[in-house]
Structures are given as structure tokens and as C-alpha cells.
Amino acid sequence: SKYGSCCRRGCRFFNLVYLVENREKVDINATKATCQASCMEAYIHTKDRYACNLGCASMAKHKQIDFIVSSQVSWSVYMEDGNNVLMLQPG
């Protein structure tokens, strides 16, 4: 559908902005705002813009969930063997 195409374009806009930003300092809200500004430039009609903005919002939500999950999943291993201690953590 026409609106599905606009929504997918919003998803692409979000991913392009996200990939260009510095990964360590990604601000999901700023990325979403830039995506929505791209939708405003790309579309004249309100419904098209709305569908594009839904794509931006959908991708922002997915990235937030990915960030929460990745920040909650961590591990470390502590090993002691006589006088030696070894601590392992993912880098």
C-alpha cells in the first residue's frame, strides 16, 4: 500500500541516521527527531508524513529495546587458582 511504502521509508531514514551517528553516543530521541525531519522534507501530504513518522517511531522503539536488552545482559568470570586470580569480562 501507499502508506506502507511511506512507513518503510521512515524505517530506512531512521536506520541511515542511526548508522551515520557515533555508535557510542547514539541519542535515540535525536535520531528519531532527525528521521521525522526527513519525513517532513520528503512528504507534502499529512497522511504520508504520519506513516513515515510511524516508521521512525517503530525503529526508535526497537533500538531502545535492543539497548535495554544488551545493557542488561552482561557476565564476568572470576577464577582463583592458588596465588593466581583471573577476571574475565566481555570487551
Segment 20-74, tens digit of pLDDT: 886 667 789 999 999 999 999 999 999 999 999 999 999 999 888 776 666 555 5
pTM: 0.70
Q: Give the integer Cα–Cα distance in Å for 49 and 20.
A: 23
Residue 33: Cβ within 10 Å count = 14
**Alpha carbon of residue 41 to chain centroid:** 21
Inform me whether the pLDDT recorded for 81 exceeds 80: no
Q: In the chain, where are the structural domains located?
A: 2-77
CB of 91 closer than 8 Å to CB of 43: no
Question: Which of 56, 67, 76, 57 minimizes the C-alpha distance to 12?
Answer: 56
The letter for the amino acid at 16 is L
